[in-house]
């Protein structure tokens, strides 16, 4: 893994415009116009950006062979298949990391955390401008990933277990889900991240939550009308993690359990999920709490984030006993929030960190680490 530091002096918006201009030049897709449209709500905006990216990628000569047979190039049916595939992924797929790289990313603070998010976006954009699987693998290596999706990460882990070197293992993960699905997952992630960088919103946050535990975690009722165990005190959730535990069509989880060879093995696979929240109106920010419930034991972990309008940014992550309403839970954790929060409780080391106590565009990294 290697951080790209060339853009450190740019603001989030300046960096987003740079990436959007690259995408427009290479794929003919105007993400800047989509980001700046005032007529779209966040979900419509994300869907339109994802579909536009997919159409641009599918019509790019260097990527076209990965999407379809020559006879179906550019057809409505081919594009419709990709859009349906994107809907089946819809929310942000888990990103797989080796234990070593997960540990590095979880340790980033301040400017390094901003640089990592910029690196992630730039390397995803690079994937849309290549024509070889080898280059796609190299870009994943560049931001420390073993694969995009649970299925790809597990396939890469199995290849590592069989003795393959990391790059061959990553290629095995891409092949397991097919290059087409990999590129669709790339478009889903890239659309959310570029919009986060582009949007002129005074209060928004992108978060990456690592699950270094033996538990699959779900946010109950996430897709219900009331958001279930995802509570927004202010603002709105524009994108949120969700992935299929065993490939398309299987049970969905928010965070997949780690895939391990043994305690401390550097090739253990750790999964992370991404979210993006933003303010929507008035003198309020983007603030909320998500309760992640283990499908194995029922243990609940509450992750709180705050990018308030008139107070310091912060975060807190704690074990949840289930005896409060989500509003009461949010208020309690809001009072405990810090720029860099950590606690050991319930057999877990829980930490979360924002890169800036006062900025409007905020990056966050959170870690759920099982102690035994």
Give the list of residues 6+ apart from residue 18 with CB closer than 8 angstroms, or none.
Answer: 7, 10
Per-residue pLDDT reduced to its tens digit, 274-307: 999 988 766 678 999 999 999 999 999 999 999 9
Residue spans per domain, the chain: 12-187, 201-370
Q: Among the CATH numbers 3.30.2180.10, 2.60.120.10, 1.10.1060.10, 2.60.270.20, which is that of 201-370?
A: 2.60.270.20
CA 207, CA 222: separation in Å to the nearest integer? 17
- DSSP assignment letter at 175: H
Is the entire prediction scored with pTM above 0.75? Answer: yes
**Would you call 37 helix, strand, or coil by DSSP?**
coil
What 3-state DSSP class applies to 370?
strand
- Which residues neighbour 346 within 8 Å (Cβ) at sequence distance 6 or greater? 299, 319
- Tell me: the pLDDT tens digits for 357-370? 988 889 999 999 99
Is the backbone of residue 182 left (phi > 0), alpha (psi -120 to 50) or beta? alpha
DSSP run (H or E) holding 162:
none
CA 291 – CA 299 distance, rounded (Å): 10
Residue 263 has pLDDT above 80, yes or no: no
pLDDT digits (tens, 9 = 90+) for 197-219: 998 666 889 999 999 999 999 99
Mean pLDDT of the chain: 89
Give CA angle at 164 (158, 166), nearest 5°.
Answer: 90
Distance CA(127)–CA(174), nearest Å, equals: 13
3-state secondary structure of 123: helix
Question: What pLDDT band is residue 72 in, cutting at 50, 70 and 90?
Answer: low
């Amino acid at each position: 893994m290697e951080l790209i530091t060339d853009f450190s002096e740019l603001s989030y918006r300046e960096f987003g415009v740079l990436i959007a201009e690259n995408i427009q030049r290479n794929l003919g897709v105007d993400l800047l116009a989509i980001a700046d449209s005032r007529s779209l709500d966040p979900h419509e905006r994300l869907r339109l950006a994802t579909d536009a990216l997919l159409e641009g990628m599918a019509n790019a000569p260097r990527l076209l062979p990965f999407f379809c047979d020559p006879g179906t190039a550019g057809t409505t049916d081919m594009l419709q298949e990709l859009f349906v595939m994107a809907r089946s992924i819809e929310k942000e797929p888990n990103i797989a990391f080796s234990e070593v790289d997960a540990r590095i990313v979880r340790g980033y603070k301040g400017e390094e955390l901003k640089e990592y998010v910029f690196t992630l976006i730039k390397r995803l954009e690079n994937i849309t401008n290549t024509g070889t699987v080898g280059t796609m693998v190299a870009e994943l290596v560049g931001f420390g990933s073993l694969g995009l999706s649970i299925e790809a990460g597990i396939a890469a882990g199995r290849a590592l277990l069989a003795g393959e070197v990391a790059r061959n293992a990553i290629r095995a993960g891409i092949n397991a889900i097919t290059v087409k699905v990999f590129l669709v997952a790339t478009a889903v992630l890239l659309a959310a991240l570029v919009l986060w960088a582009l949007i002129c919103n005074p209060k928004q946050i992108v978060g990456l939550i690592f699950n270094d535990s033996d538990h699959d975690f779900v946010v109950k009722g996430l897709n219900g009308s009331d958001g279930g165990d995802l509570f927004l005190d202010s603002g709105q959730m524009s994108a949120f993690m969700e992935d299929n535990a065993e490939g398309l069509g299987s049970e969905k989880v928010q965070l997949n359990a780690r895939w391990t060879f043994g305690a401390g093995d550097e090739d253990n696979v750790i999964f992370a999920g991404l979210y993006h929240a933003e303010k929507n109106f008035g003198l309020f920010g983007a603030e909320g709490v998500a309760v992640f419930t283990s499908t194995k034991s029922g243990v609940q972990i509450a992750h709180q984030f705050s990018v308030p309008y008139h107070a310091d940014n912060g975060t807190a992550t704690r074990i949840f006993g289930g005896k409060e309403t989500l509003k009461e839970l949010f208020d309690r954790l809001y009072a405990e929030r810090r720029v860099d929060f950590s606690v050991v409780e319930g057999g877990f080391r829980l930490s979360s960190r924002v890169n800036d106590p006062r900025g409007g565009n905020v990056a966050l990294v959170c870690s759920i680490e099982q102690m035994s």
